[in-house]
Structure 1
Amino acid sequence: MNSVYARTARFDSARALSEDEMRRNAPSIFAVSAHESRSERFQPIPTIEVLRALMDEGFMPVGVKQGRTRDASKKDFTKHLIRLRRLDHDAKFCVGDTVCEILLKNANDGTSAFDIMAGLFRIRCLNSLVAQTSTLESVKVRHSGDVRRKVIDGTFRVLKEAEKALAAPADWSGLILDCDEKQVFAEAAHIARFGDSEGETTTRIQPNQLLNARRTGDRENDLWTTFNVVQENAMRGGLRAAFRDENGRIRRTCSRAVNGIDQDVKLNKALWTLSEKMAELKGLKAAA
């Protein structure tokens, strides 16, 4: 196995990415045919063609990510994620340091449908989050037929719904959490990040470590700040713990960053939903 095919490639920017930059970091975006393992019933969806159509509508790619594959032949077909932003509409889709984005996920090797999601991006610390809730819309397009218009229409529909999520920074900033509430939040997030299918965890990383602010501006006790601190720690990794093994020797461990595309989306959704539930417990209902 060649390591170049096993790694997760990622590239983020505050500007529109060129096609050359995207090709270097996520070549599967440019696949116009299906991987040889697919049957004739599988209709490839060329992401680059959809992307170019969205760019004509003003949506610019500002981040790309390509998933892992152990099969070298799938390098140019495997799962990828693109972040798009209306750079000419940032004033409309921006609250403070948070902007609204569209996320496109696709693969032409059978590992993913074409999925259009709403997202938020916190510029100050570059920790993206998928704001997928019951009030936001996600559009999935199967690999069959002509999908260009479905994708564009779905993108505008998702973006319209996503504007509701921009109320969260202001609303959640006014909800102050006490120490017990923050601990409960961290414990639930700890299970979402490290728990297995039964909700059991074996990591030496403790829930309260998810509450450690990485910068001075994130030491507030409101829900919005707490959410962002926990989200960044859970996603970026780097949390350390020391323990003694069965022989009494000191061992050290460090949490890893979440790099997989599906894991990224799943964890971000879980943390967003957790924050919504906490807001409801504090007396704030989600936007209708």
Structure 2
Amino acid sequence: MEPANNVSEFILLGLTQHQESEQICFVLFSFFYAVTIVGNLLIIITIKSSQSLISPMYFFLSYLSFVDISYSTAIAPKMIADFLVERKTISFAGCMTQLFFGHFLGGTEVFLLTIMAYDRYIAICKPLHYMTIMSGRVCGWLVLGCWTGGFVHSIIQTLLTTHLPFCGPNEIDHYLCDVHPLLKLACTDTYIVGIIVVANTGMISLTSFVVLVTSYVVILFSLRRHTTEGRLKALSTCASHITVVIICFGPCMFIYLRPTTTLSEDKSVSVFYTVVTPMLNPLIYTLRNEEVKNAMRKMWIQKVD
């Protein structure tokens, strides 16, 4: 039996409801989005055009940049456009589409960051077997697994939400369509669905985070056998990844590792993984990585010449 659904659109209350603040946010978040697109595109172009950046680490980094561009595009343009209008609406289909792509791309990024930690573990702890273990075929299958995992995670979230009855009110106290705010609007008991959401999204974030932390603990112990130069180079590479992981996983676990409740801080915290993380990823990886910076310089010199 189909759920009774009297809602054809939702009203988003947005990040803020103060007109002056919205004007400032429009300029600020437009800048953030532009930096995200340009920065991540630059990383993709640099890696694809450079003969020196052919290791699996950069293969995964190029896909991370692509996911960041896609994820930011699924969220940011709608949010930025809403800063210019008083009544922020989104159709039911548009809301579910944003929900799907938000979790699809977000889940893919979580899995991809986990794979990148595994890559660093193999490179540092088993350097002699690195290219054998992380062959091109294996890397391709790992990336495919990340996309598949993100899809399965998202389709579960989306189907659970789509089949809920919405009969009003239709105001979402957020700037995007997400599971927790939508569950509050459903005119039925959502306790079981809420548990599944926490088990799905929250446990994926927590499990991946535990795997990441374990990987880096093992890496740190293994670095004791390396030379000082090798130790510093490995720590520099790992530090970039750890920084991204903290910025990404911290807010995700805050939002999803709890029962279906919404807090006043949720919107501010969500900004970190929907806007800030995709923007900072290229900056973090390039500012701390001499190989990427050198490749960018060579590419720039070739273009100028």
Please confirm whether the aligned pair reaches a TM-score higher than 0.5, indicating the same fold: no
* Structure with the higher fraction of residues in strand conformation: 1
- Which structure: larger Rg? 2
TM tier, shorter chain?
under 0.3
* Structure with the higher fraction of residues in helix conformation: 2
Larger RCO: Structure 1 or Structure 2 (Cα < 8 Å, ≥ 6 residues apart)? 2
User: Normalising to structure 2: TM-score of the pair?
Assistant: 0.24
